[in-house]
Structure 1
Amino acid sequence: MSDLHEPQAEPEQRGFDRLTPLHEALAALSPYCGEIAPIQMRVESALDRIAAAPVCAPAAVPPHPIALCDGWAVAAQDTLGASPYAPGFASAAPVRVAFGDVLPDFANAVLPLQSVAAERFPAQILSPAAPGEGLRASASDFAEGEIIVPAGKRLRPTDLALLGLCGIEEVALRVPHVRIVSRRSEGRWAVAMAQRDGAECWTEATDMASPKHLAEAMARPNADLVMVIGAGGGASVARALASAGKLLVHGVAVRPGETMGCGILHRRAWSGDAEPWSAARGNGERPASGSTILPVIFTPERIECALAAWLLLARPCLCRLAGAIGSARGESLPLARKIVSNPGLSDLVLLRRSSAADGSGQWEPLATGDIPFAAIAHADAWLLVEPECEGYAAGQNIFAQFL
């Protein structure tokens, strides 16, 4: 790493006309956020993680026909025309089964309990059954080799349940690791956000005024993305990046957090600085790496600025690192009242889900751009108003992403 003891020129302060549009900041950072190597993890630890490869059924599910109700397993052809007035008699005696039982080989239907007079000999069939009635056929849940979870999908609780039912104990996942660097090991809320976004995260305190200490904290091994919270105007981080990597953007045309920025750090393999990596990753190990390029995002300490940096810069980077696909988690609802935005800046809007007079759902705007703590406390979702948009009218249907 280059010598950081030499005096560095203070980065030029940017005025409003020098702010970088958000899409340009993301475009500058995205090339350094390629998909990371997959690891194997236990299914029970895979919630909210991103599948690195398609997860397929190793065998047919169910392997044999099973009953979907309590009743009598019968051969459907033996029940043709049967009724209480003209009972049928089975060539093979009906077999009593419970929900989930495997059917005997001769059976291809399940009749309700009242449809068989079992107390008589031979048993009388009192109603007809079509082939497949009352049962789940072999391979009707999953055929052998059928995709259960596609690559790039975020695993939900129902996915974990299905994988367990198919006998799958481990899956290949891409789990980005995020380091939060701050003055006082702050950013625990960001740790929770990262975990919900399928990443592992930890915090580290350092001297924010020292570019050398900042660069050392950012460049420690085993992170895929670094977020510096508490950078103020970003001068110290910008100096560290300029010396040990590259400053990509300083000043983004978004409210809140205009002084946020991003860059890259040229990180070398550091010896003698082991971390409890395998514990953080379940049973997976990070391959040893030599010289790497580490994406860095920095933001002021105010929570509304850090939240904006997380939602608008860090989360898209995590999606790229994990190879996530699919739509964002959110909901489309009409606006309870209009949203007014300033053209030229991207405005972060926080919204709360509320009920309209008719009981239907709606988005209630809480704050736009200038976001107080109370708005964060009551918000359920967020929306980005693009710089060319002046806002949205009351009643307009809007898709907002969940916080």
Structure 2
Amino acid sequence: MAQLSEDTFAFGGPLMSIEQAADLAGQRIRPVEGTEQVALADADGRVLASDVVAGLDLPPFANSAVDGYAVRFVDLASAGETRLALSGRLAAGADAAGIATAGVAVRVFTGAPIPEGADTIFMQEDVTAEEGFVRLPAGLKHGANARPAGEDIAHGETALSAGRRLRPQDLALLAALGHASVDVRRRPRVAIFSTGDELAEPGLPLPPAAIYDANRAALRAMVARAGADVVDLGILRDEPGSLAGRLREAARGCDLILTSGGVSTGEEDHVKAAVERVGALVFWRIGIKPGRPVAMGVIEGVPFIGLPGNPVAVFVTFAFVARPVVARLAGAAHVAPVPLPVRLGFPYLKKPGRREYVGVSLTPAADGVMIASKHAQDGAGVMTSLTRTEGLVELAEELTRIEAGTLVPFLAYDLLMA
């Protein structure tokens, strides 16, 4: 478990960019300790604990990329057609030992080993077959259609580097190298909770003047997708004394404490007082909308992040502020998603000095460029601005008026939560 000092998140600047927030968290938070061996079947999304060095060539032997005929290039005529006798037949998995290749052609199939001496393969559709012979056209390059041993990865080469969050294609590579299991980092344990006397648990009757707790449902899923184990503390009531005790208890069993709401300076924002009772709290004024100051703190050496209370602001600030912290704790190399350009389908006014994110849907224009259309309502509490759109357009800090037709960056929700 990472042990941080109480001034870990101190920041002296007046307004922090999203990149500064991610970089600062990355510098000041250490990955959790501990590794484990897991089967490949359970390794998707886990973070690789150490470099994987190839213990064999991939492919491990020279093989044919096509169905056809293997020959020695030196046996081909310098000009015109070549006629060679057939000698042998090799399918995938067959043993090529002892098969002659000098002055002859060998029938091979895709994946079959290339017999010693042969180095070039003609595709069967380019060859004229006769009884016991084949006629080979001129013009084929030396080495055509032959996969040499180690073409993909050579023995001793680093196949995958530590810190990589494993994907299906990575698992395929590990399997091809003969690995049935892999060494991965322990998942961080992230405690989440909601506070408020007005909150009710979904599935239960809704009392008067109450609302169902939506933010915790989103945070559970986002934390899990970020590669951490969720410790759900449920709904904590607005009682400063009990809140402080639950925070201290969570810090002793988790690597990060994450919540939404309750950390402003109002009289009913009891999380702020509870954190300050058992640890330290600072506010990062991040130039982002939707959102507001994000609370960063330390409780008994464990980092605490307090996100805004509105659900759209929770989604956005988690994606750009909290997710890099979770990735760092997991030992992963967090890579910011790369946006794609789309054409804004509406004019937009904004204040300078902050980056704004607006939920949009996309439709193709006649020239193939996607046009971004804004949801009818886009307040920080309007959840349908997320559920009825496909992603966010990113409007830079220096912009104040963006005209319809302007090309702007677009980030799909799937990319933000990948």
- Normalising by structure 2, what TM-score? 0.73
* SS of aligned partner of 2:373: strand
1:113 aligns with 2:99: no
Cα distance in 1 for residues equivalent to 2:147 and 2:342: 38
2:275 to 241, 249, 252: 241
Kindly indicate whether the alpha-carbon contact (under 8 Å) linking 1:211 and 1:239 is maintained by their aligned counterparts in 2: yes
2:236 to 194, 202, 207: 207
Cα distance in 1 for residues equivalent to 2:128 and 2:368: 51
- 1:92-107 → structure 2 map (5 Å cutoff): 93-107=104-118
Kindly indicate whether the alpha-carbon contact (under 8 Å) linking 2:272 and 2:281 is maintained by their aligned counterparts in 1: yes
1:146 to 151, 157, 167: 157
Unpaired runs of at least 5, structure 2: 1-13, 86-100, 196-200, 202-212, 414-418
* SS of aligned partner of 1:214: helix
- 1:268-347 → structure 2 map (5 Å cutoff): 293-321=301-329, 322-343=331-352, 345-347=354-356
State the Cα distance separating 1:245 from its structure 2 match.
0.8
Write out per-residue CA displacement over residues 241-262 of structure 1, whole angstroms, 9 at most, x where no aligned residue.
1111101117766443436522
* SS of aligned partner of 2:321: helix
1:231 aligns with 2:287: no
Cα distance in 2 for residues equivalent to 1:147 and 1:247: 42
* SS of aligned partner of 1:209: coil
Kindly indicate whether the alpha-carbon contact (under 8 Å) linking 1:181 and 1:204 is maintained by their aligned counterparts in 2: yes
Q: Which residue is equivalent to 1:194?
A: 223
Cα distance change of structure 1 residues 250 and 124 upon mapping to structure 2, 3 Å threshold = closer
2:30 to 2, 24, 34: 34
State the Cα distance separating 1:370 from its structure 2 match.
4.1
Cα distance in 2 for residues equivalent to 1:197 and 1:79: 57
* SS of aligned partner of 1:103: coil
State the Cα distance separating 1:346 from its structure 2 match.
4.5
Cα distance in 1 for residues equivalent to 2:46 and 2:393: 24
Write out per-residue CA displacement over residues 288-318 of structure 1, whole angstroms, 9 at most, x where no aligned residue.
xxxxx21112235432232133123211212
Cα distance in 2 for residues equivalent to 1:263 and 1:249: 8
Q: Which residue is equivalent to 1:354?
A: 363
Letter in structure 2 aligned against 1:265: I
* SS of aligned partner of 2:236: coil
Unpaired runs of at least 5, structure 1: 1-18, 267-292
Pairwise CA RMSD: 3.3
State the Cα distance separating 1:79 from its structure 2 match.
2.3
Kindly indicate whether the alpha-carbon contact (under 8 Å) linking 1:251 and 1:260 is maintained by their aligned counterparts in 2: yes
State the Cα distance separating 1:341 from its structure 2 match.
1.4
- 1:372-383 → structure 2 map (5 Å cutoff): 372-383=382-393
State the Cα distance separating 1:29 from its structure 2 match.
5.1
Cα distance change of structure 1 residues 265 and 383 upon mapping to structure 2, 3 Å threshold = farther
Kindly indicate whether the alpha-carbon contact (under 8 Å) linking 1:194 and 1:201 is maintained by their aligned counterparts in 2: yes
- 1:374-393 → structure 2 map (5 Å cutoff): 374-385=384-395, 388-393=398-403
* SS of aligned partner of 1:205: strand
Kindly indicate whether the alpha-carbon contact (under 8 Å) linking 1:52 and 1:323 is maintained by their aligned counterparts in 2: no
Cα distance in 1 for residues equivalent to 2:219 and 2:43: 19
- 1:128-139 → structure 2 map (5 Å cutoff): 128=138, 129-139=140-150
Cα distance change of structure 1 residues 201 and 382 upon mapping to structure 2, 3 Å threshold = farther
Cα distance change of structure 1 residues 244 and 230 upon mapping to structure 2, 3 Å threshold = same
State the Cα distance separating 1:227 from its structure 2 match.
1.1
Cα distance change of structure 1 residues 160 and 396 upon mapping to structure 2, 3 Å threshold = farther
Q: Which residue is equivalent to 1:11?
A: none
State the Cα distance separating 1:398 from its structure 2 match.
2.5
Cα distance in 1 for residues equivalent to 2:242 and 2:352: 39
Kindly indicate whether the alpha-carbon contact (under 8 Å) linking 1:61 and 1:140 is maintained by their aligned counterparts in 2: yes
Cα distance in 1 for residues equivalent to 2:246 and 2:143: 64
State the Cα distance separating 1:127 from its structure 2 match.
2.5
Kindly indicate whether the alpha-carbon contact (under 8 Å) linking 1:255 and 1:369 is maintained by their aligned counterparts in 2: no
Letter in structure 2 aligned against 1:349: V
Moved runs in structure 1, 4+ residues, more than 6 A?
A: none
Q: Which residue is equivalent to 1:126?
A: 136
Kindly indicate whether the alpha-carbon contact (under 8 Å) linking 1:32 and 1:295 is maintained by their aligned counterparts in 2: no
Cα distance change of structure 1 residues 134 and 229 upon mapping to structure 2, 3 Å threshold = same
Q: Which residue is equivalent to 2:97?
A: none
Kindly indicate whether the alpha-carbon contact (under 8 Å) linking 1:347 and 1:385 is maintained by their aligned counterparts in 2: yes
Cα distance in 1 for residues equivalent to 2:155 and 2:191: 41
Cα distance in 1 for residues equivalent to 2:354 and 2:127: 73
State the Cα distance separating 1:165 from its structure 2 match.
1.8
Write out per-residue CA displacement over residues 108-139 of structure 1, whole angstroms, 9 at most, x where no aligned residue.
12222255565434x24433543311121111
Q: Which residue is equivalent to 1:281?
A: none
State the Cα distance separating 1:64 from its structure 2 match.
0.8
Kindly indicate whether the alpha-carbon contact (under 8 Å) linking 1:75 and 1:106 is maintained by their aligned counterparts in 2: yes
Cα distance in 2 for residues equivalent to 1:391 and 1:42: 53
Cα distance change of structure 1 residues 303 and 370 upon mapping to structure 2, 3 Å threshold = closer
